[in-house]
Amino acid sequence: DVKVTQSSRYLVKRTGEKVFLECVQDMDHENMFWYRQDPGLGLRLIYFSYDVKMKEKGDIPEGYSVSREKKERFSLILESASTNQTSMYLCASSRAGPAGLWQYFGPGTRLTVT
Amino acid sequence: DAKTTQPTSMDCAEGRAANLPCNHSTISGNEYVYWYRQIHSQGPQYIIHGLKNNETNEMASLIITEDRKSSTLILPHATLRDTAVYYCIVRPSPNDYKLSFGAGTTVTVRA
């Protein structure tokens, strides 16, 4: 069974802390994604990676960075957490090319910044 | 990107077929229709996609009208575990990987 796992389901951090969210997929997918989901705003793409060490900004990259040193792992970093980054964070992966037009999601990390 | 319109909510009886409509009247010729769902407190789950022809897999069927301006997702025998928010999405091109969900349809399956 295909699987995308995220390091935490729930996380509480203080303003100004550096936060790491990790995502691992076991499907040998080329593409990996970080989204955030907020009530009334839907799902928004933060960053996208199509290969190891490659990344592209999504719609809302400000305040975030990413790292992909291995194919199976994609990390989202909040350099200095702020309260407006309280959200549900979702990681996803997909294959490259037309065959990878659908994405497999992890269970999500609900981050609260106080 | 083509915009999609879905009903806000719908109820369905357990064991009956659930028919979820989606309007995408501004869809262009190369845009795919995708359906995802999100069960409460879980990540979204891909269901099915199509371009012109009707599609069926183990989860659902997708019926796309001939003019492609609307589609219907059919869950043939709804179960309580199908209670979720269902999202209809139009993907502009095979190389566009960005998913963007609107409000979707909240489907409640009742025993």
Q: Measured in Å, how far apart are chain B's first and last C-alpha atoms?
A: 38
Instruction: Pick the range with the lowest mean pLDDT from A57-61, A101-105, B30-34, B91-95.
Output: B91-95
Q: What is the pLDDT of residues A13-28, one digit of tens each?
A: 999 999 999 999 999 9
pLDDT for A43: 86
3 state SS of A47: strand
Interchain CB contact of B91 with A (< 8 Å): yes
Q: Is the pLDDT of residue A101 over 80?
A: no
3-state secondary structure B31-85: CEEEEEEECCCCCCEEEEEECCCCEECCCCEEEECCCCCEEEEEECCCCHHHCEE
% of chain A with per-residue pLDDT over 90: 83
**With contacts defined as CB-CB under 8 Å, which chain A residues touch B102?**
42
**With contacts defined as CB-CB under 8 Å, which chain A residues touch B91?**
101
Q: What is the pLDDT of residues A85-97, one digit of tens each?
A: 999 999 999 988 7
Interchain proximity B99–A48, CB inside 8 Å: no
pLDDT for A1: 67
Q: Is the pLDDT of residue A106 over 70?
A: yes
The highest-confidence range among A30-44, A99-113, B51-65, by mean pLDDT, is B51-65
pLDDT for A93: 94
Q: Is the pLDDT of residue A7 over 80?
A: yes
pLDDT for A46: 95
pLDDT for B28: 86
Residues 51-90 of B with CB under 8 A from A: none
Select from B32, B42, B46 the Cβ nearest to the Cβ of A103: B46
Segments in chain B below pLDDT 70: 1-2, 92-95
Q: What is the pLDDT of residues B50-64, one digit of tens each?
A: 999 899 999 999 999
Interchain proximity B97–A48, CB inside 8 Å: yes
Q: Is the pLDDT of residue A98 over 70?
A: no
What is the CB-side half-sphere exposure of residue A23 using CA atoms within 13 A?
Answer: 33
CA–CA distance, A69 with B78 (Å, rounded to integer)? 42
pLDDT for B102: 78
Bridge partners (DSSP) listed for residue B70: B23
Q: What is the mean pLDDT of residues A35-43?
A: 88
